Amino acid sequence: MSTLPKWWRYTGVICYFTALFILSCFLCLFFFVALNISVVLLDFPPGTSVIRGYNQTLAFNFTVENLSPLIDIVQVDRTDQNFNATVVFARAEDLATVSEETKNYVNSDISMEQLQQGLPANATVTFSGTGTVLLSRQMCSQYHYACLIVQPGPGSTFQLPVQSYRHQSCLPTSTFVNCEGAVLNLFHFSGLFLST
């Protein structure tokens, strides 16, 4: 039999359940705020070609995965966006090591319906968009990668963890960027030239 007063035992029980409640709220907050996503695929349609020195429309597709096993990203409405996607041309895949002056951001157009959609736990969703790209003659050969970065949009129902690194995907530009510009073949003339 306990020698503690009855009110002391109740205080201990109340403190125990209060601490348990605070811990569970903290865990819920952590799961809701720090949802990690992964860009599992960045793709340009077959035949995509970007030639330096020209404004061109670039079509792209990308797939995002919600890595949380339990928590859905809930759809938003009005002017809020769950996702903000940016295409950038850079000299390295690790965009943190590339100076801002040497990055070329693409003005992207993705429908608001796509950016507002939700994403269930452990599920993927594919987006499609277009962007206007201009690679200058001077910098074209420096852009070794085209990268897509996905971040929470304004009014999003999730945030990325501080140490998140999987919310971007890059492709080498060697297969679809032409830094030579227009190529002219040599013409051979034959015949009689008259001079007066």
Please tell me the distance from the alpha carbon of residue 72 to that of residue 51, in angstroms, as a whole number.
Answer: 41
148 contact partners, CB below 8 Å, separation of at least 6: 39, 42, 60, 62, 85, 86, 87, 88, 168, 169, 170
Report in angstroms the alpha-carbon separations of 22 from 10, 16, 29, 70, 164: 18, 10, 10, 20, 26
Taking only the tens place, the pLDDT of each residue in 44-73 is 999 999 999 999 999 999 999 999 898 999
Cα 156 from Cα 72, distance rounded (Å):
12
Q: Which of 70-74, 147-151, 160-164 has the lowest mean pLDDT?
A: 160-164
Helix (H, G, I), strand (E, B), or coil: what is residue 14?
helix
- Mean pLDDT in residue range 8-17: 59
Asked whether residue 173 carries a pLDDT value surpassing 80, the answer given is yes
Q: Structure pTM?
A: 0.73
* Neighbour tally for 127: CB within 10 Å: 19
85 closest CA partner among 57, 121, 126, 27:
126
Mean pLDDT of the chain: 82
Segment 94-110 shows an average pLDDT of: 92
Please check whether the domain covering 35-178 is classified as CATH 2.60.40.10. yes
Minimum mean pLDDT range among 41-55, 75-89, 177-191: 177-191
Paired sense of beta strands 83-90 and 145-152, if any:
antiparallel
Domains in the chain: boundaries: 1-33, 35-178
Tokens of 17: 């359940």
pLDDT over threshold 70, residue 158: yes
User: Running DSSP on this structure, what letter comes out for residue 195?
Assistant: -
Query: What integer pLDDT is reported at residue 59 of this predicted model?
Result: 96
Per the CB < 8 A criterion, the answer to whether 83 and 152 are in contact is yes
**Residues 66, 135: contact at Cβ < 8 Å?**
no
pLDDT at position 189 is: 44
Q: What are 192's two structure tokens? A: 């009689």
